[in-house]
Chain A
Amino acid sequence: MISQKTMELLISSFPKILEFGLKVTLPLAIIAFILSTVLAVLVAMVQFAEVPVLKQICRFYIWVIRGTPLLVQLMVAFYGLPLIGIHANPFVMAVIVFTINEGAYSAETMRAAMEAVPAGQLEAGYCVGMNFMQIMWHIILPQSFRTAFPSLFNALISMVKDTSLASSITVVEMFTRTKQIAGQSYNYLPLYIEVAIVYLLFCTVLTFVQKKGEKILGSYGVRK
């Protein structure tokens, strides 16, 4: 059973863990997610529009990022960016790396969603006189965003948990904070289970947000 002492430790550390979750883990994941989605839309659009040269650059970017571990990317950025004169604090650096990493995956999600929009939608857009960008903005992006939304949210939920890797570049996020507390008390397992529950809590809330979001984005009158 849980001893009195462990119980007290769990209760006293809960607000400390939660604090770093709300102040570091969630902001890191959410900021990087938003930026990565913007990046993904641009990368997907370049490919959808078949822009020469840029398209090859995008394929190269996706190839490199998907082919190397996130942890390695964090390390390369941490030691590499200062060499080219970029001195960012570790949190900002983590945001950059997570954005670039997730952008590559989400770009493929967005591209698939764009390609799933029937060609007739684009043709009809041209026939009423719109240009490519106008059709993208009014027709293709809204429809593909709706299709991609659940997958994009998958990525966000993944990222909430992957932020623990930011500890490797000295970002004190929720898991690192938990390790510190555990280290001081020599009582590891209960605290790790506690932090697992907090991650689960975050992801539960996000799942709920996803459901709401899907409702707001609507299904264009399709009855479900």
Chain B
Amino acid sequence: MALLEVKNLHKKFDATEVLMGVDLTVEKGDVVSILGPSGSGKTTLLRCINFLEKADEGDLVFGEKTYHLPKVSRDDISSIRKRTGFVFQNYNLFANKTVLHNVTLGLTSARHVHAKEAEKKALEVLRKVGMADYAGQYPSQLSGGQQQRVAIARALATDPDIIYFDEPTSALDPELTAEVLEVMRELAHEGMTMIVVTHEISFAKEVSSKVVFMADGKVVEEGTGAEFFENPKMDRTKEFLRLTKN
């Protein structure tokens, strides 16, 4: 039984069709990389399955329950979100909260965890991403890479079944990208289930158990990491890989 399944996902913004029937299966422990040119719908796909956008059509199977995406109740949305983590391209750390409170808020506020216990958990995940020494700082005092590592800690703190990464390094320079990828690599090795929308081809090659290539709102090709990069079948995939080689 897959941990997460997306079936026939459609999404339009006004007249523009962004997703045209996307299917995706994620098993527990999978690291699924979603590649594709800008505008192919990768980010929208992630946002739809965490209800930041409302899908027009499609089903989501999550935790052995099936939800019809255009008509999910508020309670179901809330319970699904409580089992997932989301890491944004531009971090979106809470600007008025310290690093520590950015991480504890999901526990204390949304899950009513006792403050002391939440802090303990927060420091544990902050240590994991190498940010425990910055617990008292505000996001504005951190570099982009540090902010993104805190954002990953925030997602980790609630022990999610899966974490969605939406182009987590696109706003970072190569050096900062490396420090964030290092954290993600570690998570992958620990068996965290992840969907990563990324332009980091070499990272995708290295850690993915599955690669999905999207173009024009559709999944063009998917395969295991090795299979996808060594033996792409579709012309569109071959072209993308050729152009992104360097």
Q: Footprint of B on A, CB under 8 Å?
A: 118, 120-121, 123-131, 134, 138-139, 142-143, 146, 220-222
Contact = CB atoms under 8 A, between A and B. Distances in A.
B85 interface: yes
Contact of B96 (A129, A134, A142): A142
Given A126-B51, A130-B106, A130-B109, 4 more contacts: A123-B88, A127-B52, A131-B110, A138-B97
For this complex, into which size category does the number of interface residues on chain B fall?
20 to 34
A220 B81 contact: no
Contact of A126 (B52, B90, B154): B52
B11 to A, nearest CB: 16
A221 B141 contact: yes
Given A126-B52, A127-B85, A131-B78, A143 B105 contact: no
Contact of A128 (B137, B139, B141, B154): B154
B129 to A, nearest CB: 16
A139 B96 contact: yes
Contacts of B51: 126
Contacts of B93: 124
Contacts of A131: 78, 110
Contact of A130 (B95, B110, B140, B141): B110
24 contacts: A118-B92, A120-B88, A120-B90, A121-B92, A121-B95, A123-B52, A123-B92, A124-B93, A126-B51, A127-B50, A127-B155, A128-B85, A128-B154, A129-B82, A129-B106, A129-B110, A129-B158, A139-B96, A142-B96, A143-B95, A220-B95, A220-B96, A220-B139, A221-B137
Nearest to B108: A138
B140 A220 contact: yes
A127 B109 contact: no
Contacts of B137: 221
A139 B109 CA distance: 11
Interface of B: 50-52, 78, 81-82, 84-86, 88, 90, 92-97, 105-106, 109-111, 137-141, 154-155, 158
A120 B139 CA distance: 14
B106 A220 contact: no
Contacts of A129: 78, 81-82, 106, 110-111, 158
Q: Is chain B's interface secondary structure helix, strand, loop, or mixed overall? A: loop
B81 A138 contact: no
Contacts of B110: 128-131, 134
A222 to B, nearest CB: 5
B92 A124 contact: yes
A125 B105 CA distance: 9
A138 B105 contact: yes
Q: Is chain A's interface secondary structure helix, strand, loop, or mixed overall? A: helix
A127 B86 contact: yes
A143 B141 CA distance: 17
Contact of A143 (B50, B82, B96, B109): B96
Contact of A124 (B88, B109, B140, B141): B88
A126 B137 CA distance: 23
Contacts of B106: 128-130
Contact of A125 (B82, B94, B141, B158): B94
Nearest to A123: B52
B111 A124 contact: no
Contacts of A123: 52, 86, 88, 92
Nearest to B87: A127
Nearest to A144: B96
A143 B140 CA distance: 14
A142 B105 CA distance: 14
A134 B140 contact: no
B87 to A, nearest CB: 9
A126 B81 CA distance: 7
Nearest to B74: A131
The 9 A-B residue pairs with the shortest CB-CB distance in the complex, in nearest-first order: A221-B138, A128-B106, A129-B110, A127-B86, A120-B92, A124-B92, A129-B82, A221-B141, A130-B110
Contact of B105 (A118, A130, A146): A130
A153 to B, nearest CB: 19
Given A120-B88, A129-B78, A129-B158, A139 B138 contact: no
Nearest to A127: B86
A120 B154 CA distance: 15
